[in-house]
């Protein structure tokens, strides 16, 4: 089962739990959800009416805590931690995992120095163990640890809940992408049409050349035939030569002397 399918099951469970409870009783649901090792999306729980009703009550800190896990980072939590419930170790780990996902949204090459600062990690070994065991092994990110360049090259990162106002920006980005895709498709179609036209012209030219070659062959054959016939007319076979030769081979007649009559 992949991470998306696991998420769906856990979300459904906690949404049902939140829908069945009210007021302070929801605190345990929030803590359990934000501590769960396989849950990384919280917008559906935030949308439950009973949870939204915590706004302005003594339990509103749990609503704010849930919002921090939906959209915030470890650094942001530290800046407001005084007014939020103290987190247990599983929650700290979860928020640091979510922080990596947020950083991966803006760049696919995360310097070790940036990660150590954002996650409160003191050395490279600790950071790499966290990225391998608590991020890549869990399946929320995939990437390559580059010790030489001291960075984490992100190949895949699971998405986080959309922040307020982020949907409009995302729609704008998708609209721009669709426009670029449409223009690219038009360009590809024009190139295909041009290629087809050139192919047709090439085929037509080849056919014309073949026809010209055949015409030249026929013309040469006709001229050769005319030349041969003209040669026969100019130099016919000698007539009478054989007769002359035969005449010369015949014995000549001897003439008898003519005696006049007395």
Tens digits of per-residue pLDDT, 89-108?
Answer: 999 999 999 999 999 998 99
Span 41-79, pLDDT tens digits: 999 999 999 999 999 999 999 999 999 999 999 999 999
Q: Give how far the C-alpha of residue 69 lies from the chain's centroid of Cα atoms, to the nearest Å.
A: 33
Looking at the predicted structure, is the pLDDT value of residue 193 above 90? Answer: no
- pLDDT (mean) for 124-135: 97
Say yes or no to pLDDT of 134 above 70: yes
| Cα–Cα distances in angstroms (integers) from residue 74 to residues 15, 195, 234, in the given order | 25, 56, 112
Cα separation, 147 vs 261, whole angstroms: 152
Handedness of CA 24, 29, 35, 39 (dihedral sign): negative
Counting residues of the chain whose pLDDT is more than 70, the rounded percentage is 79
| Predicted local confidence at residue 153, as pLDDT | 98
pLDDT in tens, 157-189: 998 988 776 656 656 667 777 888 888 888 898
Instruction: Give mean pLDDT, residues 199-211.
Output: 86
Strands (E), the chain: 109-111, 141-146, 151-157
Query: At 85, is the pLDDT very low, low, confident or very high (cuts 50, 70, 90)?
Result: very high
Residue range 126-144: average pLDDT? 96
Q: What is the DSSP string of 7-74?
A: HHHHHHHHHHHHHH--GGGHHHHHHHHHH-TT----HHHHTSHHHHTTTTSTTHHHHHHHHHHHH--H
Q: Which of 14-28, 76-90, 123-137, 208-222 has the lowest mean pLDDT?
A: 208-222
pLDDT value of position 211:
86
| Contact partners, residue 69, CB within 8 Å, separation at least 6 | 33, 34, 42, 91, 94, 95, 98
- pTM, to two decimals: 0.67
Residue 144's DSSP bridge partners are: 153
For residues 207-214, give the mean pLDDT: 86
Task: Identify the pLDDT of residue 190.
Answer: 84
User: Is pLDDT at 148 greater than 90 in this prediction?
Assistant: yes
Residue 146: helix, strand or coil by DSSP? strand
Q: Binning pLDDT at 50, 70 and 90, where does residue 220 land?
A: confident
Burial of 82 (0-12, 13-18, 19+ CB in 10 A): exposed
**What average pLDDT score do residues 223-241 get?**
59
Distance CA 200, CA 32 (A): 69
* HSE-CB of 128 using CA atoms within 13 angstroms: 9
Q: Cα dist. 153→109, 222, 262 in Å?
A: 5, 77, 152
């Amino acid at each position: 089962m992949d991470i998306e399918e696991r998420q769906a099951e856990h979300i459904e469970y906690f949404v049902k739990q939140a829908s069945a409870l009210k007021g302070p009783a929801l605190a345990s649901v929030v803590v359990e959800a934000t501590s769960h090792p396989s849950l990384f999306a919280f917008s559906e729980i935030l949308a439950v009416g009973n949870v939204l009703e915590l706004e302005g009550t003594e339990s509103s800190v749990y609503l704010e805590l849930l919002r921090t896990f939906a959209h915030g980072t470890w650094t942001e939590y530290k800046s407001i931690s005084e007014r939020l419930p103290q987190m247990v170790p599983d929650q700290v780990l979860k928020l640091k995992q979510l922080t990596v996902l947020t950083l991966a949204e803006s760049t696919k090459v995360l310097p070790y120095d940036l990660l150590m600062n954002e996650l409160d990690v003191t050395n490279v070994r600790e950071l790499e163990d966290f990225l391998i065991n608590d991020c890549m092994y869990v399946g929320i990110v995939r990437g390559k640890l580059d010790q030489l360049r001291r960075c984490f090259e992100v190949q895949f990162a699971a998405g986080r809940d959309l922040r307020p106002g982020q949907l409009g920006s995302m729609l704008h980005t998708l609209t721009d992408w669709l426009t670029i895709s449409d223009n690219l498709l038009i360009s590809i179609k024009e190139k295909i049409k041009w290629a087809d036209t050139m192919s047709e012209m090439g085929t037509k030219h080849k056919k014309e050349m073949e026809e010209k070659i055949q015409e030249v062959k026929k013309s040469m054959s006709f001229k050769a035939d005319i030349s041969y016939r003209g040669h026969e007319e100019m130099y016919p076979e000698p007539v009478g030569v054989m007769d002359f030769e035969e005449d010369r081979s015949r014995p000549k007649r001897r003439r008898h002397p003519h005696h006049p009559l007395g």
